[in-house]
Chains A and B, each alone.
Chain A
Amino acid sequence: MKPAPFRYERPATLEAVLALLDAHGAQAEILAGGQSLMPMLALRVARPDLVIDINRIAGLGDITAIPDGGVRIGARARHAEVMASPLVPALMRSALAHVAHPAIRNRGTLGGSLALADPAAEMPCCMVALGARIVTLSSRGETHHDAASFFHGLYSTARRPDEMILRIEIPPLGPQWRFAFLEEARRLGDYAIAGVALAMGAGEVRLAFCGVEPAPRCLPATEALILAGADPLPGLVELAPMDSDDAPEAYRRHLAGVLLKRALREVGHG
Chain B
Amino acid sequence: MTDLALPQDGWIGRRMPREDTRRLVMGAGRYVDDLACRGELHAAFLRSPYPHAGFRLDLSQAKALDGVAAVFVAEDLARVCGGLICPDLAFPGMVSPQQLPLVAERAVYQGEPIALVLADSRAVAEDAVELIAVDWQELPAITRLDQSLTQDAPPVHLGLASNLGWSTQIGTDLRDAFAGAALVVETTLDFARNTGVTLEPRGLIAQWDAGALELRISHQMPHQLQLHIAELFGVAMSRVRVICGDVGGGFGLKMHIYQDELATIAAARLIGRPVRFIADRMESLMADIHAREHRIHGRMAVDAQGRIIGFDIDDLHGMGAYSVFPRSSTREAMSALAVIGAPYLHQVFHARLRCALQNKVPTGQLRAVGNPIGCAITERLVDLAASARGEDRLVFRARNLLPEAMQPWTSPSGFRLFGLSHHRCLERLQKLMDLPKLRAEISDACASGRWLGLGFASLVEFTAPNSRSYGPTGAPVAAVDAVVATLEMTGDISVRASVSEIGQGIRQSLAQVMADAMGVPAENVAVLTGDTATVPHGGGAWASRGAAIGGEAAWQAGVALRAQILEIAAALLQAQAADLDIRFGQVVDQHGSARMGLDELSRIVTLQSYLLPDGMQGQLSVSRTYRREADSALPNNGIQAVLVEIDPDTGHISALRHWVVFDCGRVLNPLLVEEQIRGGVVMGLGQALLEACSYDSGGQFISATLADYKVPMADDAPDIEVALVETPYAGSAVGAKGAGEAGACAAPAALLNAVNDALAGQGAQISALPITPLDVLRALGRVPQA
How many Å lie between the Cα of A189 and that of B710 in the bound state?
12
B280 touching A1, Cβ below 8 Å? yes
A254 touching B707, Cβ below 8 Å? no
How many Å lie between the Cα of A36 and that of B681 in the bound state?
32
| Smallest Cβ-Cβ distance to B704: which chain A residue | A43
Asked, given contacts A184-B652, A255-B650, whether A190 binds B772 with beta carbons under 8 Å apart, the answer is: no
Partner of A184, one of B121, B130, B650, B713: B650
Q: Closest CB-CB distance, A233 to chain B, in whole Å?
A: 12
A interface secondary structure, majority: loop
Partner of B773, one of A44, A184, A248, A262: A184
B690 touching A251, Cβ below 8 Å? no
A248 touching B786, Cβ below 8 Å? yes
A188 touching B784, Cβ below 8 Å? no
Asked, given contacts A184-B652, A186-B690, whether A254 binds B783 with beta carbons under 8 Å apart, the answer is: yes
CB-CB < 8 A to A187: which residues of B?
690, 710, 712-713, 715-716
Q: Closest CB-CB distance, B686 to chain A, in whole Å?
A: 10
| Smallest Cβ-Cβ distance to B784: which chain A residue | A250
Q: Mark B712-723, 1 if CB is under 8 A from A, else 0.
A: 110110000000
| Smallest Cβ-Cβ distance to B649: which chain A residue | A258
A245 touching B782, Cβ below 8 Å? no
CB-CB < 8 A to A43: which residues of B?
282, 705
A188 touching B715, Cβ below 8 Å? yes
B782 touching A254, Cβ below 8 Å? yes
Tell me if B122 counts as interface (CB < 8 A to partner A).
yes
Q: Closest CB-CB distance, B523 to chain A, in whole Å?
A: 35
A5 touching B127, Cβ below 8 Å? yes
Q: Closest CB-CB distance, A185 to chain B, in whole Å?
A: 9
CB-CB < 8 A to B712: which residues of A?
187
Tell me if A238 counts as interface (CB < 8 A to partner B).
no
Tell me if A68 counts as interface (CB < 8 A to partner B).
no
B777 touching A186, Cβ below 8 Å? no
Q: Closest CB-CB distance, A20 to chain B, in whole Å?
A: 23
| Smallest Cβ-Cβ distance to B690: which chain A residue | A186
Q: Closest CB-CB distance, A249 to chain B, in whole Å?
A: 10
A2 touching B773, Cβ below 8 Å? no
CB-CB < 8 A to A190: which residues of B?
707, 710
CB-CB < 8 A to B715: which residues of A?
187-189
| Smallest Cβ-Cβ distance to A5: which chain B residue | B127
| B770-786 with Cβ < 8 A to chain A | 772-774, 777, 782-784, 786
B123 touching A2, Cβ below 8 Å? yes
Tell me if A4 counts as interface (CB < 8 A to partner B).
yes
A2 touching B782, Cβ below 8 Å? no
Tell me if A172 counts as interface (CB < 8 A to partner B).
no
CB-CB < 8 A to A191: which residues of B?
707
How many Å lie between the Cα of A4 and that of B128 in the bound state?
10
How many Å lie between the Cα of A132 and that of B123 in the bound state?
41
CB-CB < 8 A to B705: which residues of A?
39, 43
CB-CB < 8 A to B777: which residues of A?
251, 254
B774 touching A247, Cβ below 8 Å? yes
CB-CB < 8 A to B774: which residues of A?
246-248, 251
| B261-294 with Cβ < 8 A to chain A | 280-282
Tell me if A25 counts as interface (CB < 8 A to partner B).
no
| A159-187 with Cβ < 8 A to chain B | 184, 186-187
Tell me if B696 counts as interface (CB < 8 A to partner A).
yes
CB-CB < 8 A to A186: which residues of B?
690, 710, 772-773
Instruction: Report how many residues on chain A are interfacial, defined by Cβ distance under 8 Å.
Output: 25
CB-CB < 8 A to A250: which residues of B?
783-784
Q: Closest CB-CB distance, A262 to chain B, in whole Å?
A: 8
How many Å lie between the Cα of A176 and that of B123 in the bound state?
55
How many Å lie between the Cα of A262 and that of B694 in the bound state?
32
How many Å lie between the Cα of A190 and that of B650 in the bound state?
16
CB-CB < 8 A to A246: which residues of B?
694, 772, 774
CB-CB < 8 A to A247: which residues of B?
774
CB-CB < 8 A to A248: which residues of B?
774, 783, 786
Tell me if B126 counts as interface (CB < 8 A to partner A).
yes
CB-CB < 8 A to B281: which residues of A?
1
Tell me if A3 counts as interface (CB < 8 A to partner B).
yes
Q: Closest CB-CB distance, B398 to chain A, in whole Å?
A: 36
Partner of A189, one of B649, B713, B772: B713
How many Å lie between the Cα of A250 and that of B774 in the bound state?
10
Q: Mark B577-592, 1 if CB is under 8 A from A, else 0.
A: 0000000000000000
CB-CB < 8 A to A189: which residues of B?
713, 715
Scoring B650, B782, B784 by chain A CB atoms within 10 A of each residue's CB, the highest score goes to B650
Q: Closest CB-CB distance, B682 to chain A, in whole Å?
A: 13
Asked, given contacts A184-B650, A184-B773, whether A245 binds B696 with beta carbons under 8 Å apart, the answer is: yes
Asked, given contacts A247-B774, A254-B783, whether A4 binds B649 with beta carbons under 8 Å apart, the answer is: no
| Smallest Cβ-Cβ distance to A101: which chain B residue | B713
How many Å lie between the Cα of A43 and that of B649 in the bound state?
36
Q: Mark B647-674, 1 if CB is under 8 A from A, else 0.
A: 0011010000000000000000000000
| Smallest Cβ-Cβ distance to A193: which chain B residue | B773
CB-CB < 8 A to A254: which residues of B?
777, 782-783
How many Å lie between the Cα of A248 and that of B785 in the bound state?
10
| A1-34 with Cβ < 8 A to chain B | 1-5
Q: Mark B97-134, 1 if CB is under 8 A from A, else 0.
A: 00000000000000000000000011100110010000
B713 touching A258, Cβ below 8 Å? no
How many Å lie between the Cα of A25 and that of B782 in the bound state?
47
A1 touching B710, Cβ below 8 Å? no
Residue pairs across A and B with Cβ atoms less than 8 A apart, 12 shown, are: A1-B126, A1-B281, A2-B121, A2-B122, A2-B126, A186-B690, A187-B713, A187-B716, A250-B784, A251-B774, A254-B783, A255-B650
Q: Which 9 A-B pairs have the closest CB atoms?
A: A2-B123, A1-B280, A258-B649, A188-B715, A184-B650, A251-B783, A2-B126, A250-B783, A254-B783
- Which B residues fall within an 8 A CB radius of A? 121-123, 126-127, 130, 280-282, 649-650, 652, 690, 694, 696-697, 705, 707, 710, 712-713, 715-716, 772-774, 777, 782-784, 786
